[in-house]
Amino acid sequence: MTQASHGPSRRQILALAALGAPALIGLRGTPARAAGGEVVMMMSGGSFMQNWQTKIIDGFTPQTGIRVRMAPGNNKVHSMALRSSPSNPPFDVYLGNGDDFLRLVDAGLMLKLPQDKVPSLAEVHPRFLEQWAGHGATFDYSSVGIAYRTDRIKQPPKSWKEFVERTAAGDFGNSVFMNHMAAGVRGPEVLIALSRALTGDPTKIDAGFDALKRMKPNVFKFFSSFNDPVVLLTNDEGAIGPGWDGRTFVAHDETGGKIQWIKPTDGAASSGPVIAAVKGGNEEGAMALVNHALSAGAQKAFCEAMFYGAVNSKVQYSETLAKRLPTPDEILVPDERFLSANVGGWIERWNREIAV
């Protein structure tokens, strides 16, 4: 995604980068890393980082003898640090946004991943490889579908198209929530999903904006936090709207089934971080970690813990999760170059036509 929609502004990034420079410098040049015995990787934080440690790294290090240091922080700041120091990169493994990754690929800063070094790539579903031109793979995927309260919505919509038409018609009353376009909560991805559902073409964005205009009278909140859909449903403030699969599954179990999630028949809006090896660092160690992280065993352990979709096609989920998660054939994977090139204009249009 672009800075405008999924991260700080350029001015904020530069300020953050300056504040984080001493820490990033400290990641470079350790004796263990120079000898190939340590890998440094980008990381976000929270439960994602915790499960990376317990489900992936704790299995990788005993097998290979390679230690892994995760550097939590803002992915866009990390990406800028890579661009600013190509001859002495602060990270060996990239794990971050697709748009930032493509800019690094275009700048010649990412390795091509050879099949003999990363044999797990052969097991990754093609949908999670095709955008990255041999330089990386999507690591996992989470999906935005339709979340709702079962005690208030007795006949839930089966598709995005039905959700749009029934919201516009007032079937759900003034109890619908939607993604804010500029808050980094997958508003652009949902816009693409609506456009595709209504026209069959995800690039026909006018249809998505028309849908938002028709729905707006019955939308009580354009949310700006990943937690908002579950919070709005749990406190009974909202009845239905776009929501994430894993978070809604947890809410379903904690509320005794009062909250449910639908895989839209016209495609859940999905996304996930890209994992890859950086040029000029511990390249062998990085490729070994990428290979392990994409293996069926590591993918299953991590994704079962996070309620995320696995990109390795050989993963067999537990019975419960298998029934819940959308398969790769049931999701809409956005074209990151199309998204990156257009999202700034979409946000401006959203501010003019929807936010007013």
Q: What is the pLDDT of residues 111-144, one digit of tens each?
A: 999 999 999 999 999 999 999 999 999 999 999 9
What distance in Å separates the CA atoms of residue 143 and residue 310, rounded to the nearest whole number? 12
* pLDDT of 6 higher than 50: no
- Distances, alpha carbon 340 to alpha carbons 2, 99, 294, in Å: 5, 6, 26
What distance in Å separates the CA atoms of residue 108 and residue 155, rounded to the nearest whole number? 51
What tokens appear for 291 in the block?
């290979």
**Residue 220 contacts residue 174 (beta carbons within 8 Å):** yes
DSSP 158-204: SSHHHHHHHHHTTTT-S-EEEE-TTTTSSHHHHHHHHHHHHHS-TT-
For the entire predicted model, the pTM comes to 0.89
Q: Which has the minimum average pLDDT: 22-26, 292-296, 349-353?
A: 22-26
Torsion (CA) 304, 236, 191, 193 in degrees, nearest 10? 50
Write out pLDDT tens, residues 148-178: 999 999 999 999 999 999 999 999 999 999 9
Catalogue the E-assigned strands of the chain: 38-43, 67-72, 93-96, 136-138, 140-149, 176-179, 219-223, 240-244, 259-262, 268-271, 274-277, 309-310, 331-332
pLDDT band at 30 (very low <50, low <70, confident <90, very high): low
